[in-house]
């Protein structure tokens, strides 16, 4: 019985996002040019403050399912910084950065650098 060939998975979007602790903004540090990064919307709040949660938006919606790999970039004050993603739609996804071992000097959800890859 012959099997039907299946297309290999490929990385369609990828990048490194940097957080500037002076300006409080996330920006693209490197990666493909087919996505943008911005703060998630807060109901009734213009220009939401950065709270370790950002939206990656695709230039064009993705057809079909995809997988996201996301990795936080550890820092001296958050050596166990972690990242997770959710709210996946054809237009993008949300990344949440958090420190799993929070102490009183900072909160669990926090800002930081991270990288991601979208595999389809």
- Mean pLDDT calculated for residue range 40-68: 83
Percent of the chain with pLDDT over 70: 88
Q: What's the whole-number mean pLDDT along residues 72-87?
A: 87
**pTM assigned to the model:** 0.83
Q: What dihedral do alpha carbons 85, 82, 57, 9 form, nearest 10°?
A: -70
CB contact at 8 A, 21 and 111: yes
pLDDT digits (tens, 9 = 90+) for 8-34: 889 999 999 999 888 888 999 999 999
Mean pLDDT of 74-94: 90
Measure Cα distances from 74 to 81, 85, 92, 111 in Å.
5, 17, 24, 11
Indicate the DSSP class of residue 61.
Answer: P
């Amino acid at each position: 019985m012959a099997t039907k060939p299946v297309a290999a998975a490929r990385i369609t979007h990828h990048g490194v996002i940097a957080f500037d602790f002076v300006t409080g903004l996330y920006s693209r540090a490197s990666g493909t040019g087919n996505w943008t990064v911005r703060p998630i919307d807060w109901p009734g709040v213009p220009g939401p403050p950065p709270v370790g949660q950002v939206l990656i938006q695709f230039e064009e919606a993705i057809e079909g399912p995809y997988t996201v790999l996301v990795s936080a970039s550890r820092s001296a004050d958050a050596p166990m910084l972690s990242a997770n993603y959710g709210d996946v739609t054809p237009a993008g996804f949300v990344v949440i950065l958090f420190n799993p071992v929070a102490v009183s000097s900072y909160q669990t959800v926090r800002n930081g650098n991270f990288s991601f890859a979208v595999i389809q």
